[in-house]
Structure 1
Protein backbone atom coordinates (compact mmCIF):
# COMPACT_ATOMS: atom_id res chain seq x y z
CA UNK A 1 0.00 0.00 0.00
CA UNK A 2 2.88 2.37 0.79
CA UNK A 3 4.37 1.76 -2.67
CA UNK A 4 1.02 2.53 -4.31
CA UNK A 5 0.68 5.70 -2.24
CA UNK A 6 4.17 6.86 -3.30
CA UNK A 7 3.31 6.16 -6.94
CA UNK A 8 0.10 8.18 -6.70
CA UNK A 9 1.98 11.11 -5.14
CA UNK A 10 4.56 11.00 -7.94
CA UNK A 11 1.88 10.94 -10.62
CA UNK A 12 0.10 13.87 -9.02
CA UNK A 13 3.33 15.85 -8.78
CA UNK A 14 4.60 15.28 -12.32
CA UNK A 15 2.11 17.54 -14.18
CA UNK A 16 3.18 20.52 -12.05
CA UNK A 17 6.88 20.16 -12.84
CA UNK A 18 6.99 18.33 -16.17
CA UNK A 19 9.05 20.99 -17.93
CA UNK A 20 12.73 21.71 -17.41
CA UNK A 21 15.35 24.29 -18.31
CA UNK A 22 19.08 24.61 -17.66
CA UNK A 23 20.91 26.82 -15.17
CA UNK A 24 24.58 27.81 -15.40
CA UNK A 25 26.57 29.72 -12.77
CA UNK A 26 29.58 31.71 -13.95
CA UNK A 27 32.65 32.07 -11.77
CA UNK A 28 33.23 35.06 -9.52
CA UNK A 29 30.43 34.97 -6.94
CA UNK A 30 31.35 36.09 -3.47
CA UNK A 31 34.60 37.64 -4.62
CA UNK A 32 35.74 41.27 -4.34
CA UNK A 33 34.75 43.96 -5.12
CA UNK A 34 31.03 43.24 -4.63
CA UNK A 35 31.01 39.91 -2.86
CA UNK A 36 33.68 39.83 -0.16
CA UNK A 37 33.40 36.03 0.16
CA UNK A 38 29.61 36.15 0.53
CA UNK A 39 27.85 32.81 0.05
CA UNK A 40 25.22 32.72 -2.70
CA UNK A 41 22.59 30.28 -3.99
CA UNK A 42 19.28 30.31 -5.84
CA UNK A 43 16.09 28.47 -4.92
CA UNK A 44 13.66 27.81 -7.76
CA UNK A 45 10.31 26.15 -7.07
CA UNK A 46 11.58 24.81 -3.74
CA UNK A 47 14.94 23.38 -4.88
CA UNK A 48 18.21 25.10 -3.95
CA UNK A 49 20.96 25.48 -6.56
CA UNK A 50 24.41 26.31 -5.20
CA UNK A 51 27.26 27.99 -7.06
CA UNK A 52 29.46 25.04 -6.11
CA UNK A 53 27.11 22.47 -7.65
CA UNK A 54 27.99 20.82 -10.95
CA UNK A 55 27.31 22.89 -14.08
CA UNK A 56 24.94 22.83 -15.93
CA UNK A 57 22.02 22.14 -13.61
CA UNK A 58 18.46 21.14 -14.48
CA UNK A 59 15.70 23.33 -13.11
CA UNK A 60 12.12 22.05 -12.88
CA UNK A 61 9.53 24.59 -13.96
CA UNK A 62 6.04 25.24 -12.73
CA UNK A 63 3.63 24.19 -15.46
CA UNK A 64 0.89 26.46 -14.15
CA UNK A 65 1.49 30.00 -13.00
CA UNK A 66 4.78 31.69 -12.20
CA UNK A 67 8.01 30.18 -10.93
CA UNK A 68 8.76 31.02 -7.30
CA UNK A 69 12.38 31.97 -6.67
CA UNK A 70 14.64 33.11 -3.86
CA UNK A 71 18.18 34.49 -3.97
CA UNK A 72 20.04 33.58 -0.79
CA UNK A 73 22.88 36.10 -0.36
CA UNK A 74 24.78 35.49 2.86
CA UNK A 75 22.21 35.99 5.64
CA UNK A 76 19.76 37.85 3.37
CA UNK A 77 17.03 36.36 1.17
CA UNK A 78 15.34 38.08 -1.79
CA UNK A 79 12.06 36.50 -2.92
CA UNK A 80 10.87 37.04 -6.50
CA UNK A 81 8.77 35.39 -9.20
CA UNK A 82 9.66 34.75 -12.83
CA UNK A 83 8.54 32.72 -15.84
CA UNK A 84 11.23 30.40 -17.17
CA UNK A 85 10.87 28.77 -20.58
CA UNK A 86 11.12 25.07 -21.31
CA UNK A 87 14.42 24.08 -22.92
CA UNK A 88 16.10 27.46 -22.40
CA UNK A 89 19.52 27.90 -20.78
CA UNK A 90 19.80 30.61 -18.12
CA UNK A 91 23.09 32.23 -17.14
CA UNK A 92 23.71 33.51 -13.60
CA UNK A 93 26.51 36.09 -13.44
CA UNK A 94 28.07 38.10 -10.60
CA UNK A 95 26.51 41.55 -10.58
CA UNK A 96 28.04 45.00 -10.39
CA UNK A 97 27.65 47.76 -7.78
CA UNK A 98 23.83 47.75 -8.02
CA UNK A 99 23.16 43.99 -7.94
CA UNK A 100 24.82 40.95 -6.42
CA UNK A 101 23.79 38.78 -9.38
CA UNK A 102 22.11 38.88 -12.77
CA UNK A 103 20.05 36.10 -14.36
CA UNK A 104 19.23 36.03 -18.06
CA UNK A 105 18.37 33.60 -20.86
CA UNK A 106 21.18 32.64 -23.20
CA UNK A 107 18.99 33.53 -26.19
CA UNK A 108 17.48 36.96 -26.86
CA UNK A 109 17.00 38.35 -23.33
CA UNK A 110 14.45 41.18 -23.06
CA UNK A 111 13.06 43.42 -20.37
CA UNK A 112 9.29 43.88 -20.24
CA UNK A 113 6.41 46.08 -19.10
CA UNK A 114 4.22 46.53 -16.04
CA UNK A 115 0.58 47.71 -16.25
CA UNK A 116 -1.38 48.88 -13.23
CA UNK A 117 -5.09 49.73 -13.20
CA UNK A 118 -6.05 51.77 -10.17
CA UNK A 119 -9.35 50.38 -8.89
CA UNK A 120 -9.26 52.42 -5.68
CA UNK A 121 -10.75 55.86 -5.01
CA UNK A 122 -7.43 57.71 -4.56
CA UNK A 123 -4.37 58.48 -6.67
CA UNK A 124 -1.63 55.88 -6.33
CA UNK A 125 1.94 55.49 -7.57
CA UNK A 126 3.30 52.54 -9.51
CA UNK A 127 7.09 52.42 -9.14
CA UNK A 128 9.09 49.93 -11.21
CA UNK A 129 12.82 49.22 -10.83
CA UNK A 130 13.03 52.10 -8.31
CA UNK A 131 13.36 54.81 -10.98
CA UNK A 132 10.27 54.38 -13.20
CA UNK A 133 7.48 56.22 -11.44
CA UNK A 134 3.89 56.93 -12.59
CA UNK A 135 0.93 58.61 -10.86
CA UNK A 136 -2.24 56.62 -11.59
CA UNK A 137 -5.61 58.28 -11.04
CA UNK A 138 -8.67 56.27 -9.92
CA UNK A 139 -10.03 54.15 -12.77
CA UNK A 140 -6.95 54.77 -14.96
CA UNK A 141 -4.24 52.39 -16.20
CA UNK A 142 -0.55 53.16 -16.68
CA UNK A 143 2.07 50.99 -18.36
CA UNK A 144 5.80 51.27 -17.72
CA UNK A 145 8.80 49.74 -19.44
CA UNK A 146 11.15 48.41 -16.77
CA UNK A 147 14.43 50.22 -17.40
CA UNK A 148 17.41 49.13 -15.31
CA UNK A 149 21.12 49.89 -15.11
CA UNK A 150 22.87 48.78 -18.31
CA UNK A 151 25.43 46.80 -16.28
CA UNK A 152 22.83 45.01 -14.15
CA UNK A 153 19.88 44.96 -16.52
CA UNK A 154 18.68 41.47 -15.64
CA UNK A 155 18.29 41.64 -11.90
CA UNK A 156 14.92 41.10 -10.14
CA UNK A 157 12.73 44.15 -10.71
CA UNK A 158 11.19 45.84 -7.69
CA UNK A 159 7.50 46.76 -8.02
CA UNK A 160 5.98 49.17 -5.51
CA UNK A 161 2.45 50.54 -5.20
CA UNK A 162 2.40 53.53 -2.89
CA UNK A 163 0.39 56.55 -1.83
CA UNK A 164 1.41 59.79 -3.55
CA UNK A 165 3.02 61.17 -0.36
CA UNK A 166 5.80 58.64 -1.02
CA UNK A 167 7.03 61.04 -3.72
CA UNK A 168 7.50 64.02 -1.39
CA UNK A 169 10.81 65.72 -2.36
CA UNK A 170 11.92 65.74 1.29
CA UNK A 171 12.79 62.04 0.92
CA UNK A 172 15.28 62.68 -1.92
CA UNK A 173 18.91 62.30 -0.90
CA UNK A 174 20.93 65.54 -0.98
CA UNK A 175 23.99 64.73 1.20
CA UNK A 176 22.94 67.52 3.57
CA UNK A 177 23.40 65.92 6.97
CA UNK A 178 19.80 64.89 7.56
CA UNK A 179 19.09 61.48 9.11
CA UNK A 180 17.94 59.62 6.00
CA UNK A 181 17.38 56.37 7.89
CA UNK A 182 14.55 58.09 9.77
CA UNK A 183 13.24 59.82 6.64
CA UNK A 184 13.19 56.64 4.56
CA UNK A 185 11.51 54.71 7.37
CA UNK A 186 8.83 57.41 7.36
CA UNK A 187 8.57 57.18 3.57
CA UNK A 188 8.05 53.43 3.83
CA UNK A 189 4.78 54.00 5.68
CA UNK A 190 3.25 55.16 2.38
CA UNK A 191 3.95 51.84 0.61
CA UNK A 192 0.72 49.93 0.02
CA UNK A 193 2.50 46.75 -1.11
CA UNK A 194 5.66 45.69 -2.92
CA UNK A 195 7.13 42.64 -4.62
CA UNK A 196 9.78 41.56 -7.16
CA UNK A 197 9.35 40.14 -10.68
CA UNK A 198 12.26 39.02 -12.84
CA UNK A 199 11.93 40.00 -16.52
CA UNK A 200 13.77 37.78 -19.00
CA UNK A 201 11.67 37.32 -22.16
CA UNK A 202 9.91 40.64 -22.73
CA UNK A 203 7.06 39.75 -20.41
CA UNK A 204 3.97 41.92 -20.21
CA UNK A 205 2.62 41.71 -16.69
CA UNK A 206 -0.25 43.44 -14.92
CA UNK A 207 -0.42 44.10 -11.21
CA UNK A 208 -3.50 44.73 -9.11
CA UNK A 209 -4.53 45.14 -5.49
CA UNK A 210 -6.95 42.75 -3.84
CA UNK A 211 -9.45 43.75 -1.13
CA UNK A 212 -6.72 43.44 1.51
CA UNK A 213 -4.46 45.84 -0.39
CA UNK A 214 -2.06 43.06 -1.35
CA UNK A 215 -0.50 42.96 -4.82
CA UNK A 216 -1.07 40.17 -7.32
CA UNK A 217 0.84 39.62 -10.58
CA UNK A 218 -0.62 38.28 -13.82
CA UNK A 219 1.37 37.36 -16.93
CA UNK A 220 -0.48 38.85 -19.93
CA UNK A 221 1.87 37.62 -22.67
CA UNK A 222 5.05 38.93 -24.26
CA UNK A 223 6.13 42.03 -26.16
CA UNK A 224 6.40 41.62 -29.91
CA UNK A 225 9.74 42.60 -31.50
CA UNK A 226 8.09 45.80 -32.73
CA UNK A 227 6.72 46.66 -29.27
CA UNK A 228 10.10 46.03 -27.66
CA UNK A 229 11.86 48.29 -30.15
CA UNK A 230 9.30 51.03 -29.47
CA UNK A 231 10.17 51.03 -25.78
Structure 2
Protein backbone atom coordinates (compact mmCIF):
# COMPACT_ATOMS: atom_id res chain seq x y z
CA UNK A 1 0.00 0.00 0.00
CA UNK A 2 1.35 3.45 -0.94
CA UNK A 3 1.75 5.79 2.03
CA UNK A 4 -0.95 8.48 1.81
CA UNK A 5 1.37 11.15 3.14
CA UNK A 6 4.48 10.19 1.22
CA UNK A 7 3.65 8.77 -2.23
CA UNK A 8 6.33 6.55 -3.69
CA UNK A 9 9.09 8.62 -5.28
CA UNK A 10 9.92 8.44 -8.97
CA UNK A 11 12.38 5.89 -10.26
CA UNK A 12 15.59 7.33 -11.79
CA UNK A 13 15.27 4.93 -14.73
CA UNK A 14 12.16 5.03 -16.88
CA UNK A 15 9.91 1.97 -17.03
CA UNK A 16 6.76 3.61 -18.42
CA UNK A 17 4.35 0.78 -17.59
CA UNK A 18 5.61 0.46 -14.02
CA UNK A 19 5.58 4.24 -13.56
CA UNK A 20 2.01 4.50 -14.85
CA UNK A 21 0.90 1.77 -12.44
CA UNK A 22 2.67 3.57 -9.58
CA UNK A 23 0.88 6.81 -10.38
CA UNK A 24 -2.49 5.05 -10.41
CA UNK A 25 -1.73 3.44 -7.05
CA UNK A 26 -0.78 6.82 -5.62
CA UNK A 27 -4.08 8.37 -6.69
CA UNK A 28 -6.06 5.45 -5.31
CA UNK A 29 -4.21 5.60 -1.99
CA UNK A 30 -4.89 9.34 -1.73
CA UNK A 31 -8.63 8.84 -2.24
CA UNK A 32 -9.09 10.11 -5.79
CA UNK A 33 -11.71 7.45 -6.61
CA UNK A 34 -13.99 8.74 -3.85
CA UNK A 35 -13.31 12.36 -4.85
CA UNK A 36 -14.50 11.52 -8.36
CA UNK A 37 -17.55 9.61 -7.12
CA UNK A 38 -16.20 6.24 -8.22
CA UNK A 39 -15.14 3.00 -6.64
CA UNK A 40 -11.49 2.05 -6.87
CA UNK A 41 -12.35 -0.43 -9.63
CA UNK A 42 -14.28 2.18 -11.61
CA UNK A 43 -11.46 4.67 -11.26
CA UNK A 44 -8.94 2.08 -12.45
CA UNK A 45 -11.13 1.40 -15.49
CA UNK A 46 -11.33 5.14 -16.21
CA UNK A 47 -7.57 5.61 -16.40
CA UNK A 48 -6.62 2.17 -17.80
CA UNK A 49 -6.77 3.19 -21.51
CA UNK A 50 -4.00 5.74 -20.85
CA UNK A 51 -1.49 3.05 -19.92
CA UNK A 52 -0.77 2.18 -23.55
CA UNK A 53 -0.34 5.89 -24.35
CA UNK A 54 2.20 6.20 -21.54
CA UNK A 55 4.20 3.27 -22.83
CA UNK A 56 4.09 4.50 -26.43
CA UNK A 57 4.99 8.13 -25.86
CA UNK A 58 6.92 8.42 -22.58
CA UNK A 59 10.40 8.43 -24.09
CA UNK A 60 13.28 6.02 -24.37
CA UNK A 61 13.07 2.93 -22.10
CA UNK A 62 15.83 3.02 -19.52
CA UNK A 63 16.35 6.78 -19.84
CA UNK A 64 17.39 8.24 -16.49
CA UNK A 65 15.37 10.94 -14.75
CA UNK A 66 16.25 12.79 -11.58
CA UNK A 67 13.35 15.13 -10.90
CA UNK A 68 14.96 17.12 -8.10
CA UNK A 69 18.20 17.77 -9.99
CA UNK A 70 16.97 18.15 -13.56
CA UNK A 71 13.40 19.29 -12.98
CA UNK A 72 12.23 16.88 -15.67
CA UNK A 73 9.56 14.16 -15.55
CA UNK A 74 8.64 11.85 -18.48
CA UNK A 75 4.87 11.93 -17.93
CA UNK A 76 2.17 12.67 -15.38
CA UNK A 77 -1.36 11.30 -15.03
CA UNK A 78 -3.73 14.25 -14.63
CA UNK A 79 -7.24 14.26 -13.14
CA UNK A 80 -9.37 17.29 -13.98
CA UNK A 81 -10.96 19.50 -11.35
CA UNK A 82 -14.41 18.38 -12.51
CA UNK A 83 -13.60 14.98 -11.02
CA UNK A 84 -11.34 16.05 -8.14
CA UNK A 85 -11.65 19.67 -6.91
CA UNK A 86 -8.40 21.61 -6.67
CA UNK A 87 -9.01 22.64 -3.06
CA UNK A 88 -9.15 18.95 -2.11
CA UNK A 89 -6.30 17.68 -4.29
CA UNK A 90 -3.94 20.47 -3.24
CA UNK A 91 -4.50 19.46 0.39
CA UNK A 92 -3.32 15.94 -0.48
CA UNK A 93 0.13 17.14 -1.58
CA UNK A 94 3.23 17.35 0.59
CA UNK A 95 6.87 18.25 0.14
CA UNK A 96 9.28 15.37 -0.37
CA UNK A 97 9.96 14.04 3.11
CA UNK A 98 7.40 16.42 4.63
CA UNK A 99 4.09 15.91 6.36
CA UNK A 100 2.35 19.27 6.27
CA UNK A 101 -0.44 19.33 3.66
CA UNK A 102 -0.42 21.66 0.71
CA UNK A 103 -2.89 24.53 0.66
CA UNK A 104 -4.52 27.17 -1.53
CA UNK A 105 -3.39 30.68 -0.60
CA UNK A 106 -6.01 33.09 0.71
CA UNK A 107 -4.95 35.58 -1.99
CA UNK A 108 -7.50 33.73 -4.14
CA UNK A 109 -10.63 35.64 -3.21
CA UNK A 110 -13.90 33.64 -3.00
CA UNK A 111 -14.75 32.30 -6.45
CA UNK A 112 -11.40 33.30 -7.95
CA UNK A 113 -9.98 29.80 -8.30
CA UNK A 114 -12.94 28.73 -10.42
CA UNK A 115 -12.17 31.55 -12.86
CA UNK A 116 -8.65 30.28 -13.53
CA UNK A 117 -9.38 28.01 -16.47
CA UNK A 118 -7.21 26.43 -19.14
CA UNK A 119 -6.11 28.66 -21.99
CA UNK A 120 -6.87 27.59 -25.55
CA UNK A 121 -3.30 26.34 -25.96
CA UNK A 122 -3.44 24.32 -22.74
CA UNK A 123 -6.94 22.89 -23.08
CA UNK A 124 -7.20 19.30 -21.78
CA UNK A 125 -7.66 16.76 -24.59
CA UNK A 126 -10.16 14.47 -22.89
CA UNK A 127 -13.85 15.02 -22.12
CA UNK A 128 -13.79 12.31 -19.42
CA UNK A 129 -11.47 14.29 -17.19
CA UNK A 130 -8.20 12.31 -17.30
CA UNK A 131 -5.19 12.73 -19.56
CA UNK A 132 -1.43 12.31 -19.74
CA UNK A 133 1.04 15.17 -19.74
CA UNK A 134 4.36 14.33 -21.45
CA UNK A 135 7.91 15.67 -21.33
CA UNK A 136 7.35 17.87 -18.30
CA UNK A 137 9.91 20.49 -17.25
CA UNK A 138 9.93 22.53 -14.05
CA UNK A 139 11.34 25.45 -16.02
CA UNK A 140 14.30 26.44 -13.87
CA UNK A 141 15.79 28.50 -16.72
CA UNK A 142 12.91 30.94 -16.27
CA UNK A 143 13.70 31.74 -12.65
CA UNK A 144 14.14 35.50 -12.59
CA UNK A 145 12.37 35.93 -15.96
CA UNK A 146 9.18 37.94 -16.31
CA UNK A 147 6.36 35.32 -16.50
CA UNK A 148 4.89 36.91 -19.61
CA UNK A 149 8.24 36.60 -21.39
CA UNK A 150 8.68 33.03 -20.14
CA UNK A 151 5.30 32.00 -21.55
CA UNK A 152 6.21 33.56 -24.90
CA UNK A 153 9.45 31.57 -25.03
CA UNK A 154 7.62 28.37 -24.11
CA UNK A 155 5.18 28.96 -26.99
CA UNK A 156 8.00 29.69 -29.45
CA UNK A 157 9.46 26.28 -28.64
CA UNK A 158 6.19 24.54 -29.43
CA UNK A 159 5.66 23.64 -25.81
CA UNK A 160 2.75 24.44 -23.51
CA UNK A 161 2.58 25.85 -19.97
CA UNK A 162 0.94 23.69 -17.32
CA UNK A 163 -2.55 24.28 -15.96
CA UNK A 164 -3.30 24.36 -12.23
CA UNK A 165 -4.60 20.78 -12.32
CA UNK A 166 -1.44 19.65 -14.09
CA UNK A 167 0.78 21.42 -11.59
CA UNK A 168 -1.04 19.77 -8.70
CA UNK A 169 -0.78 16.41 -10.48
CA UNK A 170 2.96 16.88 -11.00
CA UNK A 171 3.52 17.68 -7.33
CA UNK A 172 1.26 14.82 -6.23
CA UNK A 173 3.14 12.23 -8.23
CA UNK A 174 6.66 13.63 -7.85
CA UNK A 175 6.93 15.59 -4.58
CA UNK A 176 10.68 16.01 -5.02
CA UNK A 177 10.02 18.28 -8.02
CA UNK A 178 9.26 21.16 -5.63
CA UNK A 179 12.42 22.35 -3.89
CA UNK A 180 13.63 25.59 -2.37
CA UNK A 181 14.41 28.26 -4.98
CA UNK A 182 13.13 25.95 -7.76
CA UNK A 183 9.37 26.42 -7.74
CA UNK A 184 7.14 26.94 -10.79
CA UNK A 185 4.40 29.03 -12.39
CA UNK A 186 1.39 27.48 -14.13
CA UNK A 187 0.72 29.75 -17.09
CA UNK A 188 -1.74 27.33 -18.70
CA UNK A 189 -4.53 28.53 -16.37
CA UNK A 190 -5.59 32.18 -16.56
CA UNK A 191 -8.53 34.23 -15.33
CA UNK A 192 -8.53 37.08 -17.83
CA UNK A 193 -6.31 39.36 -15.75
CA UNK A 194 -2.57 39.71 -15.07
CA UNK A 195 -2.38 36.96 -12.45
CA UNK A 196 -0.42 33.78 -13.16
CA UNK A 197 -0.94 30.83 -10.80
CA UNK A 198 2.11 29.21 -9.25
CA UNK A 199 3.12 26.60 -6.70
CA UNK A 200 5.88 27.33 -4.22
CA UNK A 201 6.94 26.49 -0.67
CA UNK A 202 5.44 28.37 2.28
CA UNK A 203 5.32 27.43 5.96
CA UNK A 204 7.12 24.16 5.15
CA UNK A 205 4.32 23.07 2.80
CA UNK A 206 3.36 23.43 -0.87
CA UNK A 207 1.23 26.50 -1.58
CA UNK A 208 -0.89 27.31 -4.62
CA UNK A 209 -0.89 31.05 -5.12
CA UNK A 210 -0.39 33.54 -7.93
CA UNK A 211 2.04 36.23 -9.09
CA UNK A 212 1.72 39.11 -11.54
CA UNK A 213 2.65 38.27 -15.14
CA UNK A 214 5.04 41.25 -15.24
CA UNK A 215 6.88 40.54 -11.98
CA UNK A 216 9.90 38.20 -12.08
CA UNK A 217 10.95 36.08 -9.10
CA UNK A 218 14.37 34.48 -8.76
CA UNK A 219 12.85 31.34 -7.22
CA UNK A 220 9.95 30.88 -9.63
CA UNK A 221 10.29 29.30 -13.07
CA UNK A 222 7.66 28.44 -15.70
CA UNK A 223 6.61 24.78 -15.89
CA UNK A 224 5.89 23.43 -19.37
CA UNK A 225 5.23 20.21 -21.25
CA UNK A 226 5.83 18.77 -24.66
CA UNK A 227 2.24 17.67 -25.12
CA UNK A 228 -0.94 16.04 -23.83
CA UNK A 229 -2.67 12.83 -24.84
CA UNK A 230 -5.96 11.16 -23.98
TM-score, length-scaled by structure 1? 0.26
Larger Rg: 1
Greater helix fraction, Structure 1 or Structure 2: 2
TM-score, length-scaled by structure 2? 0.26
Greater strand fraction, Structure 1 or Structure 2: 1
